[in-house]
Amino acid sequence: MVGDKTRWALAAHGDGVDMDHWIADSGASRHLVRDVSMLENAVDCDEPNWLLLPIGKRLQVTKRGTDTLAGIAEGKEFELQLSTVYFAPLLSRNLISFGLLAQHGCRIESRHGGMVITKGTPSQSRTCWW
């Protein structure tokens, strides 16, 4: 979970997206990883857990945990912790859920031709590029 007092922003571009990078997804209902080693404090899901994909197929989710993303904001390194991140063995990309970020007070804005996820007032939020 994002700390309530933290003020941060995430900005990303589509050039050369690596398989281990994160994609911010407006349709994702959960934060998801494709590699279980990315999870911290991983535990097995209590019962069978399935996600419905936009193409109508189901994807099994087997573990949950947390993940810490490292970034740079205004020339300073910082970490952003995501709670309740799920592992899906057949997932093709890591996904950050816009909906979950919004539940924690984040906004999605268009700046300089790209999308930026911010938290805090515009004068206090920082932009993180990765």
> Residue 87 has what pLDDT?
96
- In this prediction, residues 20-44 reach a mean pLDDT of 90
Its pTM surpasses 0.85: no
Q: How confident is the model at residue 8 (pLDDT cuts 50, 70, 90)?
A: very low
CA distance 10 to 100: 14
User: Helical H runs in the chain?
Assistant: 98-103
What is the domain partition of the chain in residue ranges?
9-129
Between vectors from CA 81 to CA 94 and to CA 120, what angle results, nearest 5°? Answer: 110
Of all residues in the chain, what percent carry a pLDDT higher than 90?
A: 24
Give pLDDT tens digits for 62-91. 999 999 877 665 556 767 778 899 999 999
Maximum C-alpha span of the chain: 44
Taking the alpha carbons of 39, 26, 130, 72 in that order, is the dihedral positive or negative?
A: negative
- In this prediction, residues 111-116 reach a mean pLDDT of 66
Phi, psi of 36 (to 5 degrees): -60, -25
H or E segment and range at residue 46: strand 40-52
CATH architecture of 9-129: Beta Barrel (2.40)
